[in-house]
Amino acid sequence: MIFYKTADEIELIRESCLLVCKALTHVASIIRPGITGEEIDKAAEELIRDHNAKPGFKGYRGFPATLCISPNEGVVHGIPTKKEFQNGDVVSVDCGSYLNGFYGDSAFTFALGEVDEATMELLRVTNTSLYLGIENAIEGRRIGDIGFAVQDYCENQHPYGIVRELVGHGIGRELHESPEVPNYGKRGKGAKLKEGLVIAIEPMVNLGTKDVQQSNDGWTIITKDKKPSAHFEHTVAVKKDKADILSNHKLIEEAILKNPNVNSVGVKNTLTQAS
């Protein structure tokens, strides 16, 4: 069952998403080679709790942390560890919060130090594909239009592999609601989008093949060929003419520009987020 949100509920989800992005912005300001996943996880949890919210992922199906931290071949669902990040790592950081009865969800992939150009291009293309998907989150289009836009850009216009096993989702009073929002699909297929639908769109794109596997920790999804993967996520509300992006990556991008240890991941064309 799909739950359509009122304007007031959408504002509450926005507040939760903005808190997530505040936590990710703090991550953007401190992440560097030499820091550990556990350290940034602790910082994000403190920030969320200081705002009278709860981490959205901690305890969800037994997940033990505030952030999902998935470096390099890690796609998503990585558990923060004591291992220091290295120069050249690309680190997906996914964050959720629960505030005033509603979840927020957003993710960003950080490029630390000297990252090879092929991997930087993967990050730029994945980030751009997120906005191409969002352009289709308008009333009257279908779920398949979002997936098609992401897939066409990443797999037809670029040589990457879109993860099939993990998808975006509706979000609201629950972290994962209907409908599923795949990053692949056919134009004109799937559920029709209506104003009030709030969804997390989150392309997971691999430099090599689309195939993934679960690592030994029982959580982290990694690429089968061990090549890097990228992940960017926004929570958006479907509107009549233009999707309303409830999360905000601008703050994260500004923090990256001030952090000499992190490379900027620009969007590849004129698509940008309205502030």
Distance CA 38, CA 67 (A): 9
Residue span 101-140 as binding mask against Mg ion, x where in contact by CB under 5 A, dash where not = ----x-x---------------------------------
What is the DSSP track for 119-152? HHHHHHHHHHHHHHHHTT-BTT-BHHHHHHHHHI
Q: How many residues bind Mg ion (CB under 5 A)?
A: 5
> Residue 170, SS3?
strand
- Kindly list the distances between the CA atom of residue 21 and the CA atoms of 95, 135, 150, 210, in Å, as whole numbers in the listed order: 8, 21, 22, 28
Pick 31 or 107: Cβ nearer Mg ion:
107
Residue 206 CB, nearest distance to Mg ion (Å)?
17
Distance CA 190, CA 119 (A): 32
Q: Which stretch binds Mg ion (CB under 5 A): 87-95, 114-122, 129-137, 210-218?
A: 87-95
Distance CA 229, CA 8 (A): 36
Residue ranges in 200-219 that form contacts with Mg ion under rule CB under 5 A: 200
Residue 131 CB, nearest distance to Mg ion (Å)?
16
Cis-peptide, bond into residue 71, ω within 30° of zero: no
Is residue 73 at the binding interface for Mg ion, with CB under 5 A as the rule?
Answer: no
**Given 94, 145, 177, 253, the residue binding Mg ion (CB under 5 A):** 94
Distance CA 107, CA 71 (A): 13
How many beta carbons lie within 10 A of that of residue 241, not counting itself?
6
Pick 94 or 253: Cβ nearer Mg ion:
94
Distance CA 255, CA 129 (A): 22
Residue span 164-203 as binding mask against Mg ion, x where in contact by CB under 5 A, dash where not = ------------------------------------x---
Is residue 45 at the binding interface for Mg ion, with CB under 5 A as the rule?
Answer: no
Q: Which stretch binds Mg ion (CB under 5 A): 38-46, 98-106, 204-212, 257-265?
A: 98-106
Q: Which stretch binds Mg ion (CB under 5 A): 38-46, 149-157, 207-215, 226-234?
A: 226-234
Residue ranges in 142-161 that form contacts with Mg ion under rule CB under 5 A: none
**Interface residues with Mg ion (CB under 5 A)?**
94, 105, 107, 200, 233
